[in-house]
Amino acid sequence: MQKKIVFLFIIVMMFSMVPFAFATAEKEVTLEADPMPFKGQTLNLSWWGYGMDLLDKNVVKPFEEKYGVTVVSETGNNSARFTKMVARKGNPVIDVALFAGAWAYKATQEEIIQPYNPSLLTNLDAIMESAKDPLGGQYAIGYTIQHLGLCYRTDKIDPITSWRDLSNDDLKGFLTIPQISTTYGPSIIYMLSKAWSGSFDATDVGWQKLEELSDNLLTAYVRSSELNTLILQEEVYAAPYASFAWGNILASELPIKNVIPEEGLVGSFSVISVAAGTKNEELAHLFIDHMLSYEVQLAEAMDLVDSPVRNDIELPAEIAANLTYGDELISNLNFFDLKEMAAVEAEWLDKWNAIFSK
């Protein structure tokens, strides 16, 4: 009798598992039938396009092959792409947009990017906390971290240990800094303020020091390629540089050293966002998740394209030395409020022009 009860119980249990078994089978069948749910679709990206061959190898091709989609890139600098997206706001073409600095904040103001859905991003938990929502409102994710470093010619001038040293006499006519309208331009004012007054907020001091510094400036550069030319032609002996340009600066084979000055360096994220009004919202999230994946973050770092924001990326020392990587460097980075920078942009550009129009 007991055996019969046990047998019956087993039979009942087996039948009760049938729906689950079918459900699993159905799921497997669905995946088998459609492993590429977005196959044949097109994803429109708006990004810079610098080092496009490496971006193609590390980011675009793997994504296209994995999901059977086509990626179409619209390339250009922040302002040109921003302008295009604003102009097409009523009928958006772009699905995913990448911006840097105050442009990312301006993109939220112009409503050309929309908040992301964290539940669609499996890699979000693996990245630095500060990169998850640098603009607030979940409008963007920092997919790479960068910094503004300081470098100098060791054979031409005394060692630089502080942002104050940019005013040294041996740099007169041999100094360049990023122009105020560039991503890192406003940071110079903050760093000079900190160096000369002890506070980032005393920007009047920063402006006064910039005015004094203007005689030392050979020019102010707008693109990192300009800085490379100036260094290569030995026109300048010291400069704040964007970390992604360090590889090219080293390639000049001149005796150049980078330093972490006592006031620290400037940090920033390049961000990735879902374009507002995209018709491919899920695919856009899939691409953002792909950008944050271990494979892409590692490949981009190993090719010295982008510094990783994932916490689990381990890099060889020779690669790490050329990126924004490592506890010592990252703990010395100062991040500035993009909202504040966007708010003072016009005023600061006027101030800059006034100084250099004398």
Partner 1 sequence: MNQINIKRTLLLLLLPGSVFLLFFFVLPLIFVFTESFHGSTGELTLLRYTEVLKSKQFHFVYLRTLKIALIVTPLAVLVAYPSAYIITKMTAGKKSVMMSLVILPLMTSPVARTFAWIVILGRFGLINQTLAAVKVTSEPLRLMYTEGAIVAGLLQLFMPIMVLTLVSALENIPEEVEEAALSLGSGKTGTFFRVLVPLSFDGLIMGVTLVFTGCITAYVTPAILGGSKVLTLSTLMRQEALVLMNWEGATVIAVIMIVTTLVLYNTLRLMRPRSL
What residues line the site for partner 1 (CB under 8 A)?
79-80, 82-83, 86, 106, 173, 179, 181, 214, 217-222, 229, 233-235, 345-346, 349-350, 353-354, 356-357
With beta carbons less than 8 A apart as the criterion, state whether 101 and 188 touch: no
With beta carbons less than 8 A apart as the criterion, state whether 333 and 323 touch: no
Hey, what are 91's tokens?
């009928």
**Cβ contacts of residue 329 below 8 Å, gap of 6+?**
147, 260, 265
CB of 358 to partner 1, least distance (A): 8
DSSP state letters, 157-218:
SPPP-SGGGGG-GGGTTSEEEE-TTSTTHHHHHHHHHHHHHS-TT-HHHHHHHHHHHTTTEE
Hey, what are 353's tokens?
């022009």
Nearer to partner 1, 63 or 103 (CB): 103
Nearer to partner 1, 230 or 329 (CB): 230
> Three-class SS of residue 338?
helix
Hey, what are 220's tokens?
């102010």
Nearer to partner 1, 217 or 276 (CB): 217
CB of 146 to partner 1, least distance (A): 20
Cα 101 to Cα 186: distance, rounded to the nearest angstrom: 10
The number of residues making up the chain comes to 358
CB of 171 to partner 1, least distance (A): 14
Hey, what are 120's tokens?
């669609």
Nearer to partner 1, 168 or 214 (CB): 214
Number of H helices, E strands in the chain: 14, 11
* Residues forming beta bridges with residue 123, ordered by sequence position: none
Nearer to partner 1, 17 or 86 (CB): 86
Nearer to partner 1, 197 or 229 (CB): 229
CB of 350 to partner 1, least distance (A): 7
CB of 133 to partner 1, least distance (A): 25
CB of 354 to partner 1, least distance (A): 6
With beta carbons less than 8 A apart as the criterion, state whether 238 and 151 touch: yes
Q: Any idea which residue has 């620290």 for tokens? A: 264
Nearer to partner 1, 234 or 295 (CB): 234
CB of 355 to partner 1, least distance (A): 9
